[in-house]
Amino acid sequence: MHINWLLFLIALACASWVFYDTRPQPKLFRISWAFAVFVFWLLVFPLYLMKRRRLNLLRYDNQRIKALSCTKRSLLDFKTSLSSTD
Amino acid sequence: MRMFQRYFFHAIAFSIFCGISYGFYCPPHPLVQTEYFGIPSDSLISIWFLNWPNFAFHHHLSLFNTQSEFFPVGESLIWKTNIISLSLILLPLTSIFGPFLVYNYAMIATPAVSAWSMYFCLFELTGDYIASWTGGIIFGSSSYMMAENIDHINLSFTFCLTFSLWLAIAAIKYTWRCRTLAILLALILTFQFGISQEIYASLVVFGALGFAVVYVLNKTAQADLERILPGLVGGLIISLLLLSPIILAMLINYTDARSIVSPHKFSTDLLAFIVPAQTDMLGGHLFKPITDKFVGNYTEEGAYLGVPLLILLIWLAWSHRKSPIYLVSATFSVLAAVLSFGPYLHILGYQISTSPWILACALPFLKAMLPIRFLVYLWLGIAVLITAWLSKPGNKVLRYVVIALCLGFLIPNRSVVRNWNILDKPSVLTDGSIPAGSRIIILPENYLEMSYQVITNQRYELVGQGYLGPGIPETFQKWPLYDSIFQGYTNNISTVDPAMFSAFLATYGVQDIVVTGHSEDFANLNSKNSQLVNLLTLAGWKQVRQTPNSRIYRPMSPLVVPSPSIIADYQRALTPEQLKHKVKTETVWVRGIRLFSHLSGMKLDPLLAKYNAWAHPPLSPAAISSGKLF
């Protein structure tokens, strides 16, 4: 019985972490992964860890690149506007 | 003419299935009157249930309640493994040939009927006789069927399950009206409920799951599925309405469901798919030390596929994944296998992960299903997958050779799955030594007592016993001696207080006690029989008759029923195990108090007095002194 609760808590903790870890993603996506980790921890949690970079970090990277390019573009715009004012 | 030919082939297929089944399971010698197929005690429970309607109709009794077992409170049969549908259908045969013979032939016929219904279903799907017949053989000789057919007729009789699938296929193929489908499905579901409520519930769950899988994975079938959906739902609703009185009674007696075994204990082990079970000829014995570690027992282990079949299935599913029938059957099989893991995934009996059934295992009714039994749906999916492959155009010889090789790994071990036993009936029960209607107890309890009732046509009232499945009426559970005397697993008879035993017997007006066993059982002083005889003598009972396999004991003087307060005192007394546990716990507490007194410098006696006054559990001073507390 004790091992039941231990496994239950481990699965719950991992599911919570996955939900937190996938925060840049859409809510349905996050719930689906967390739910899958909870109900089949042994299979899905390692799968998540393997795919984590692609699922999650890539999104971070994309956002960062997007953010950087936005900043770059706005700097360029600012520069252009300055030059046009001159 | 074509129709006649088709029926002829179906009849031939059925005959072959029956022939194979009889050839495999046939009794080794001409049957004697009380010989039965299977192992005690589940087989004997089925025989009891097969006989019950016969007795109930003759004596105008309820089909769902009995007073003959666990007299005087009786027992509700609602939550038991009641096979009322089979009992009623076989009633004419049971009344002529007796329940033992009918049960034996029903058990032999069950794999054949299940295989044939699967064949029928597959034929409707593929139209290939030989491939469908092979599919029927795969299903009928599957690990699930071999294991369950050892002693669970309610679980191995899967005719309704495959017939429900056939109804759905036929409704699409012959464009039946929803009304026709609903009525037929309702009848078959209602019939199934009377064989196994568990299979009924799992059929509804997996039926819905299968419908969803087909709907999602086979776009071309969506229109047909939408057309038959009202018929399927209607069938389920009609069956629920027909069964509503029984379902209501189940809800009223819902507390009885607590006695059903936990799904944690009957789940499929991950290794069970590749490690041969004890029921398998190839490797079954060799891998017994491993399979013994799996949860459940060998009569439930139906997961073994064998490595060749597993590889073939994976290859088939992967290489034909674009074909809907392969994709659907493979997905359905995988889902059934995953759900059969139960709430927690086990490897070698150790829980290592959560599993999807964790979501359902706490729900009402669903929690009463044992996940290991979902494997029947795995085998159903496998039979469809393989039949689809075999019926495909091309070189079929090689495919049949491959299938034969795979099935070679699944050949059952005849010495394990074919059991014939003779019930040794105590002669004092049948020779008229005990008057009809007497309140008796048969000891030592071996879970055979209900079958003695069948032999004697419920001639006696069994007091506090008559095992028909897990669960004991609360009235008897209250007595601390109950576990020591009546439960076949314990051997604490010597610790029972004779006065309490005497009070127990007087309370329920027990007239005769039958002690079964041969002279050598009584000769050994440490045997249960000897201990029982000692206890009976101390309780004031004497032997009045002896036969080679049983003895009758009666009270030396008329029994005096104790007052309710005395009964209550006895019922409050602790069992030896409880007493031992309490003494152990208290010892820990008292040692703690002593240590505290030593460390703090406080006086010990006032502390112990306070402990006795405020926190002391209700233990007698004698128990405390025997536990070396102070």
| Predicted local confidence at residue B627, as pLDDT | 44
Q: Which of B351, B356, B359 sits opposite A7 (nearest CB)?
A: B351
Instruction: State how far the Cα of B386 lies from the Cα of B398, in Å rounded to an integer.
Output: 13
Residues 6+ apart with CB under 8 A from B319: none
Question: Which residue of B269, B295, B353 is the best one to mutate when testing the A interface, meaning the one whose CB has the most A CBs within 10 A?
Answer: B353
Lowest average pLDDT, out of A18-27, B111-120, B370-379, goes to A18-27
Residues 6+ apart with CB under 8 A from B294: B269, B271, B272, B301, B346, B348, B349
Per cent of chain A over pLDDT 70 is: 72
What is chain B's length?
630
| pLDDT tens figures, B187-197 | 999 999 999 99
| Predicted local confidence at residue A66, as pLDDT | 66
Residue B359, chain A, CB below 8 Å: the answer is yes
| Predicted local confidence at residue B367, as pLDDT | 85
The alpha carbon of residue A53 is apart from the nearest alpha carbon of chain B, in Å, by: 24
ipTM score for this prediction? 0.72
- B358 has a pLDDT exceeding 60: yes
CB < 8 Å to B359, chain A: 39
DSSP codes joined into one string, B488-543: TT---GGGS-HHHHHHHHHHTT--EEEEE--HHHHHSTTSHHHHHHHHHHHTTEEE
A39, closest residue in chain B (CA to CA): B356
Residue A60, chain B, CB below 8 Å: the answer is no
| pLDDT tens figures, B367-392 | 889 999 999 999 999 999 999 999 99
| Predicted local confidence at residue B462, as pLDDT | 93
Residue A11, chain B, CB below 8 Å: the answer is yes
Long-range contacts of A7-10 (CB under 8 A, 24+ apart): A7/A41, A7/B344, A7/B351, A7/B352, A7/B353, A7/B354, A8/B354, A8/B358, A10/A41
Interchain pair B356, A39: CB under 8 A: yes
The alpha carbon of residue B338 is apart from the nearest alpha carbon of chain A, in Å, by: 9
- B628 has a pLDDT exceeding 50: no
The alpha carbon of residue B352 is apart from the nearest alpha carbon of chain A, in Å, by: 7
| Predicted local confidence at residue A33, as pLDDT | 93
Instruction: State how far the Cα of B563 lies from the Cα of B251, in Å rounded to an integer.
Output: 35
CB < 8 Å to B353, chain A: 7, 11, 40-43
Q: How many alpha carbons lie under 13 Å from residue B358 in its C-beta half-sphere?
A: 22
The alpha carbon of residue A37 is apart from the nearest alpha carbon of chain B, in Å, by: 9
Residue B553 burial by CB count (10 A; 0-12/13-18/19+): exposed, middle or buried?
A: buried
Interchain pair B351, A3: CB under 8 A: yes
Place of tokens 């004997």: B44
Mean pLDDT of B36-50: 92
- B342 has a pLDDT exceeding 70: yes
DSSP letter, residue B465: -
Residue B333 burial by CB count (10 A; 0-12/13-18/19+): exposed, middle or buried?
A: buried
Confidence band (pLDDT; 50, 70, 90) for B60?
A: very high
Contact (CB, 8 A) for B388 and B329:
yes
Helix, strand, or coil (residue A57): helix
Mean pLDDT of B296-325: 93
| pLDDT tens figures, B123-151 | 999 999 999 999 999 999 999 999 999 98
Interchain pair A39, B354: CB under 8 A: yes
Interchain pair A7, B353: CB under 8 A: yes
Interchain pair B353, A41: CB under 8 A: yes
A8, closest residue in chain B (CA to CA): B354
Mean pLDDT of B493-519: 91
Confidence band (pLDDT; 50, 70, 90) for B625?
A: very low
**B515: phi then psi, degrees, rounded to nearest 5:** -105, 115
Give the residue from B42, B41, B63, B37 showing the smallest Cα distance to B52: B63
The alpha carbon of residue B356 is apart from the nearest alpha carbon of chain A, in Å, by: 5
Contact (CB, 8 A) for B429 and B550:
yes
Q: Which residue has the higher pLDDT, B118 or B444?
A: B118
Instruction: Classify the C-alpha dihedral B553-B557-B563-B566 as positive or negative.
Output: negative
Helix, strand, or coil (residue B544): strand
Confidence band (pLDDT; 50, 70, 90) for B488?
A: low
Residues 6+ apart with CB under 8 A from B105: none
The amino acid at B332: F
Mean pLDDT of B526-535: 88
Helix, strand, or coil (residue B106): helix
Place of tokens 């309140």: B439
Instruction: State how far the Cα of B486 lies from the Cα of B325, in Å rounded to an integer.
Output: 53
Average pLDDT, chain B: 90
Number of CB pairs, chain A paired with chain B, less than 8 A apart:
33
Confidence band (pLDDT; 50, 70, 90) for B560?
A: confident
Residue A2, chain B, CB below 8 Å: the answer is no
Average pLDDT, chain A: 80
Instruction: State how far the Cα of A13 lies from the Cα of B237, in Å rounded to an integer.
Output: 40
Instruction: State how far the Cα of B350 lies from the Cα of B26, in Å rounded to an integer.
Output: 38
Residues 6+ apart with CB under 8 A from B541: B505, B513, B553, B554, B555, B556
Residues 6+ apart with CB under 8 A from B522: B529, B530, B533, B551
Interchain pair A4, B353: CB under 8 A: no
B338, closest residue in chain A (CA to CA): A40
Q: Which of A8, A38, A42 sits opposite B345 (nearest CB)?
A: A42
The alpha carbon of residue B359 is apart from the nearest alpha carbon of chain A, in Å, by: 7
- B222 has a pLDDT exceeding 80: yes
Residue B356, chain A, CB below 8 Å: the answer is yes
- B238 has a pLDDT exceeding 70: yes
Confidence band (pLDDT; 50, 70, 90) for A80?
A: confident
Instruction: State how far the Cα of B449 lies from the Cα of B41, in Å rounded to an integer.
Output: 10
**B573: phi then psi, degrees, rounded to nearest 5:** -60, 155
The alpha carbon of residue A28 is apart from the nearest alpha carbon of chain B, in Å, by: 19
Contact (CB, 8 A) for B460 and B453:
yes
Residue B344, chain A, CB below 8 Å: the answer is yes
Confidence band (pLDDT; 50, 70, 90) for B630?
A: very low
A residues 40-59 near B, CB within 8 Å?
A: 40-43
| pLDDT tens figures, A23-65 | 878 889 899 999 999 999 999 999 999 988 777 655 555 666 6
| Predicted local confidence at residue B275, as pLDDT | 95
Interchain pair B344, A7: CB under 8 A: yes
| Predicted local confidence at residue A63, as pLDDT | 60
Give the residue from B100, B91, B7 showing the smallest Cα distance to B425: B100
| Predicted local confidence at residue B622, as pLDDT | 53
Instruction: Spell B3-38 as b/e; 16+ CB within 10 A means b.
Output: eeeeeeebeebbebbbebbeebbeeeeebeebbbbb
Query: Residue B225 is encoded by which pair of tokens?
Result: 């599925």
DSSP codes joined into one string, B259-309: GSPPGGGS--BGGGGTSPPTTBTTTTTTTHHHHTTSSS-TTT------HHH
